[in-house]
A and B are shown apart, each in its own frame.
Chain A
Amino acid sequence: MLSNLSEVRPSRLASLPPKAIAPSVAAPRSPAAAVLSQELIAGFQAWPVWMVMGWDDIRQRYRRSVLGPFWITMSMGVFILVLSIIYSRLFHTRLEVYMPFLTAGYIVWGFISASTNEACNVFQESGRIIKQIKLPYSVYVMRVVCRNFIVFLHTIVIYVPVAIYFKVVPTPMSLLAVAGLLLVVVNQIWLTIVIGIFSTRYRDITPIVATAIQLLIFATPIMWMVGSARSLQLVADFNPAYHLIELVRAPFLGMAPQPLSWIVGIGMAIIGWGLAAALLVRTARRIVYWV
């Protein structure tokens, strides 16, 4: 067992009888609280493990490449530039309005879509470790979210020259981006747990998620603005992805997100975490057999 984990665990479970502290596996399903403490909380606390794994994933992907993760920055930057020039004319929107909007929205979308796609593979990719040492399942979840957040930090660089060039002035509201981003990440973690568990058991989930992601980029106001077609406001309002993106994009553009976006973001987090916890309690003993 991990030495730093077993050090952490007893203090957390100090109120439980000694038998429960021992790293033992008993056939009757452990109480939900014990499962969550072992599979979720202990994993979040083991941050050196998933940080190292996440960083190594990035290094693996870009080993021997000169630009490294900045390739994503480059390709995303070029994509945004070309799209901005064409679409701003198509939509009859001024470039100085359209381009900051697209840039801020697209980099947040990049994080959400990449993490969600990779969530399908969260337990399979770590299968060799899962079958050899018992680590909390949240370690593998955080590995995926962490490495995508590192990529996100690389793409956020694109926004700086765009904001400077088009003179998007930061306002006090811009600070809300931190809270918005936190809410996006918190939602992404439970989503990764839920999708991860389902797609480990049912292998058809992966293409379903990939299709949904492909559809969502068109159904969400990322490349088009709600303002350009009022009737589309309804499409946006019923789209959770829109609200998550707005929580970060609006502050980036110097505005406060709509109250509805906060409500949806926080509501999703509460319901989603409840779902993820219930699912994990139900399946924690079986995931290893599905991998």
Chain B
Amino acid sequence: MAAIILRNLSVHIPIFDVGRASLRKALLGRAIGGRLAESKSHVVVKALRDIDLEIHDGDRIALVGDNGSGKSTLLRVIANVYPPTSGTATILGRVSPMFDATLGISMDATGLENIQIAGTIWGMTRAQIKASIGDIVDFTELGDYLKFPIRTYSNGMMMRLAFAIATMREPEILAIDEVIGVGDEGFFEKAFARLSRLIERSQILIVAAHQDDILRRMCNKAVWLSHGKLVAYGEIEDVFAARASDGGRGYADEDAPRPVEARA
């Protein structure tokens, strides 16, 4: 059983400019009495605000919203990477995040070595990695190139390998951030088929993307975020309709600082 239960969840991301991150500022701030409060209050981006959300087995969630609406932050909370600033996040089930298809890819290592490194980082055993290599060879069609350092690969070859590596695990909760829509047309269909099989095996899917047609093919529900707030959650067509009738604005919250997706 897998579940994602968010209660009153807020995530504030501190932004330290060069000056404020430095020790000198902290020390000086402490020495000069009046500035203490100011030096302690760095800029905070309220990336998610008071989110209440329950996701259960079988839910295939499309995560939509403008750039900077908090999609990536929410996915990082679900991946247990971002601890909430307030509220609670209960994540039941093994999460496979797919935020950056090139995780663990080192350019001077061979394709096979990269599969090994990434698999180990994902927590797979040696036997599990070995078992999945055949599948990766089939999918990537890279053949003997897998024994070459990957800096010799073309972009397309690299993308195939990265995608194959990112999809080598058996997840219970699959969280994807904009990694679809890569490579050439033929590869896209192949990648989509592989992703679909992975989605079938996982109990919960949550995917952030901007292409509605792709989301419709993969998902049954949708979460619409705007300025870090949850605007709507429900059947995918209902949410998309609501968004269309609203012109996609969501909350036009002028007072609040515009949340920024922390990608760096």
The answer for the CA separation of A128 and B97 in the assembled complex, in Å, is 12
The chain A residue with its CB closest to the CB of B72 is: A131
* Chain B interfacial positions (CB closer than 8 Å to A): 13-14, 16, 18, 21-24, 26, 76-77, 79-92, 94-95, 97, 99-100, 103-104, 106, 108-109, 113, 116-117, 120-126, 149, 262
Decide if A23 touches B91 in the complex (CB within 8 Å). Answer: yes
* A22 at the binding interface (Cβ < 8 Å): yes
Query: Shortest beta-carbon distance, A284 to chain B, in Å?
Result: 8
Nearest first, the 8 closest Cβ-Cβ pairs linking A and B are A2-B123, A134-B80, A285-B83, A202-B23, A24-B90, A63-B108, A204-B23, A52-B120
Query: Shortest beta-carbon distance, B22 to chain A, in Å?
Result: 5
Query: Shortest beta-carbon distance, B104 to chain A, in Å?
Result: 7
Residues in A neighbouring B104, C-beta threshold 8 A? 129
Q: Could you write out 22 A-B pairs with CB less than 8 Å apart?
A: A4-B123, A22-B92, A23-B80, A24-B88, A24-B90, A25-B77, A25-B89, A25-B90, A27-B85, A27-B86, A46-B123, A48-B120, A59-B113, A60-B106, A129-B104, A129-B121, A132-B99, A133-B81, A134-B81, A201-B21, A203-B18, A204-B24
Residues in B neighbouring A290, C-beta threshold 8 A? 14, 16
Could you tell me how many residues of chain A have their Cβ less than 8 Å away from some Cβ of chain B?
41
* Chain A interfacial positions (CB closer than 8 Å to B): 1-6, 22-27, 46, 48-49, 52-53, 56, 59-60, 63-64, 128-135, 201-205, 208, 285-286, 288-290
Query: Shortest beta-carbon distance, A171 to chain B, in Å?
Result: 42
Residues in B neighbouring A129, C-beta threshold 8 A? 103-104, 121
Decide if A25 touches B94 in the complex (CB within 8 Å). Answer: no
Query: Shortest beta-carbon distance, B248 to chain A, in Å?
Result: 28
Query: Shortest beta-carbon distance, B88 to chain A, in Å?
Result: 5
Of B95, B121, B122, chain A has the most CB atoms within 10 Å of the CB of B121
The answer for the CA separation of A130 and B104 in the assembled complex, in Å, is 11
Decide if B84 touches A27 in the complex (CB within 8 Å). Answer: yes
The answer for the CA separation of A129 and B104 in the assembled complex, in Å, is 8
Residues in A neighbouring B97, C-beta threshold 8 A? 132-133
Contact of A24 among B89, B113, B121, B124 (CB under 8 A): B89
Contact of B124 among A1, A3, A201, A286 (CB under 8 A): A3
Decide if B91 touches A4 in the complex (CB within 8 Å). Answer: no
Decide if B108 touches A26 in the complex (CB within 8 Å). Answer: no
The chain B residue with its CB closest to the CB of A133 is: B97
The answer for the CA separation of A129 and B133 in the assembled complex, in Å, is 22
Known A24-B89, A25-B83, A288-B81; contact A49-B26, beta-carbon cutoff 8 A: no
Known A4-B125, A23-B91; contact A56-B117, beta-carbon cutoff 8 A: yes
The chain B residue with its CB closest to the CB of A56 is: B117
Residues in B neighbouring A289, C-beta threshold 8 A? 13-14, 82, 262
Decide if B106 touches A56 in the complex (CB within 8 Å). Answer: yes
Decide if A49 touches B123 in the complex (CB within 8 Å). Answer: yes
Query: Shortest beta-carbon distance, A87 to chain B, in Å?
Result: 37
The answer for the CA separation of A48 and B127 in the assembled complex, in Å, is 13
Contact of B21 among A1, A22, A203 (CB under 8 A): A203
Decide if A24 touches B91 in the complex (CB within 8 Å). Answer: yes
The answer for the CA separation of A24 and B83 in the assembled complex, in Å, is 9
Decide if B117 touches A128 in the complex (CB within 8 Å). Answer: no
Query: Shortest beta-carbon distance, A238 to chain B, in Å?
Result: 25
Decide if B91 touches A202 in the complex (CB within 8 Å). Answer: no
